[in-house]
Amino acid sequence: MADHVRKQLRTAVTAALVAAVMPSVGARVYPSRVYPADDDNLPCVLVYATSEANEVETLDGDFEQRSISIRVEGLAKVALNLDDVLDQIAKEVEDVLDGPLTVGAFTTQLQYLGSEITMRADLETPCGSVALVFEAVLHTSQADTIVGA
Amino acid sequence: MPMTENNEDFLNTEEHATLALFGPSSTPIKGIFENAYLTAEVGGSVPISGRTPVFYTPESYVPAPKGKLLVVGGANYTIMFSEPDGTGWTNLILEKA
């Protein structure tokens, strides 16, 4: 039985970001991280499948269209030009996710919806995040099997 | 209310006070250094962890402190701003230099 479609999508996004070895974060790509990020794992990128909206596609209800939000967060802690560092992470993430993404047996295209930057001076070095939101639309059977993208 | 006591009475380096070097001439000064763990919420799903270095010292020891260097325990810090507490002492908010 296939994994939940959100897990499949999150895994595919994470794999694409890891494979790209983005210069700004290297291999520090963490799916669904819940613990604070410290100096050992910064800068980094976090991947979450945050929400999903479903629509029934057929009268018998056997097929659904799932619009899934993927949130990719870049975190950094640097003394100088924090905004530039966050923008660079955002650029690299957008470049990687701009292309076709294989999820299961199908290829989909993420739509970039926007981003938000937050910067703080609470710690010994300025730190902040850039959160990028993408959306993927996948078509599934009731059994969660992807039947189209 | 300003303190009238001798500042040095509160700054015994064999107890809780720390010796630091202040400014371009590396003037030795005493103060109370704290470097507590903190997590900063940065608008993301997880916070970023780090330290919050602060040096508490008489204002008279650190004239015009903003932007100057403070060396504490061999580590270099930039004084980002000063928070006077109204007693003649101030908290120097530090950033790693």
The predicted complex's ipTM stands at: 0.87
CA distance A44 to B42: 13
Domain contains B68: yes
Q: Number of structural domains, chain A?
A: 1
Q: Render pLDDT for A14-66 as a digit per residue (tens, 0 to 9).
A: 999 999 999 999 999 999 999 999 999 999 999 999 999 988 877 777 788 99
Q: How far apart are CA B5 and CA B91, in angstroms?
A: 18
Band of pLDDT at residue A1, cut at 50, 70 and 90: low
Q: Is B64 left (phi over 0), alpha (psi -120 to 50) or beta?
A: left
The answer to whether residue B2 is domain-embedded is no
The phi, psi pair for A79, rounded to 5°, reads: -75, -35
Range of the domain at B61: 7-96
* CATH value at residue B50: 2.40.10.370
Using the structure block, give the residue that is written with the tokens 């980002």: B80
- Interatomic CA distance for residues B34 and A126, integer angstroms: 18
The domain tally of chain B equals: 1
Q: Which chain B residues are Cβ-neighbours of A35 within 8 angstroms?
A: 46
Q: CB contact, 8 Å: A89 with chain B? A: no
Instruction: For chain B, 97 residues long, give each residue's pLDDT as a single digit of tens.
Output: 667 788 888 898 888 999 999 999 999 999 999 999 999 999 989 999 999 999 999 999 999 999 999 999 999 999 999 999 999 999 999 999 9
> In chain A, whose CA is at the least distance from the CA of B97?
A79
Interface test with A, best of B45, B78, B83, B94 (most A CBs within 10 A): B45
Pairing of strands A106-108, A146-148: unpaired
CATH number at residue A34: 3.30.70.1700
The answer to whether residues B49 and A36 touch, using CB atoms and an 8 Å cutoff, is yes
Tell which residue, A84, A89, A90, A85, has the closest CA to residue A112. A90
